[in-house]
Structure 1
């Protein structure tokens, strides 16, 4: 949503609140709007309708977490969906390109695990264990959103050319919804990475391929 959607959002949320004999204050509506602003207004409408019809939680007035759950799923499914997106990017994008995922929690979790290049180096056998680690870290960030996260996760090309040859650095690959990826880049922090020589990068890839060949 954008600020232009605010008054329509307030009207819709207030109408739903009336179903529960509630009338949120202006301050509460501002907080709710900010908490859900990353979603489209149509998603909010669908989430509110789903909440009203929810036999388990629908007896109580909706909270932002209720709407997020209906839009994105519960914590387990969201973490697994996030890892599925990461795993697919490992296989299809690989370690050379820098990447930006559309969720800051994903960015923070991958960064905590050593970064994009290191994660792409894991073998098939290790991938399942890395997935479990990612899910645990992502779940932790659901209850405690990351205060800082990288604006992008550096790949080998950017790591090896970010110094004297920055003109050869391509734009990062956006993984997920482009609009949300750009928001992650805007709010994320630019981490200063140590310069990686091209020869070192090639050696790491060669070792990775050899390791995966042994597994096969």
Structure 2
């Protein structure tokens, strides 16, 4: 993957910083790979070139909540906090879609944060955007019903009218329990909005789901 800095939309960096980063080689992310677990320390700053990483928080009951996904051009809050503050990870990151990333080692990351204004601005801009997403997640989990969050998740994940996801995966994404998602999907199916298949949900009345999802703005 030639000139990954351009592929990763880092063209705004100063030439000296791009030269230092270009010496790093992309690494493959196989689907299902665990990139970090609670208690691990951040070894570097990951730049996702393609693919998707999902970051989960697990409660003492075993219930999971997907905090956010990291796709090309996005950053990982947990990693940035760990590198800048020295704390350990409290969540788990799993590669949901095979792809490639570049790991900027911690010493180089900290050196660039100190020496390069353009690199520092890029990191903080991505961090601010991600924190905004986290606040949005908190608002949705706190104030929106499960039905609305589930409708939004189905619409967001649908490809060709089909959502490739298990009930447990959907529950983790919307901050609910699998049993609750199962009951809501059954209700959606009885209304003719969806059809459930093993490991997937087929959208049969997307317009109804759009109307339900839009109720969040009322």
Structure 2 length-normalised TM: 0.31
Q: Which has the higher helix share?
A: 1
Q: Which has the higher strand share?
A: 2
Structure 1 length-normalised TM: 0.31
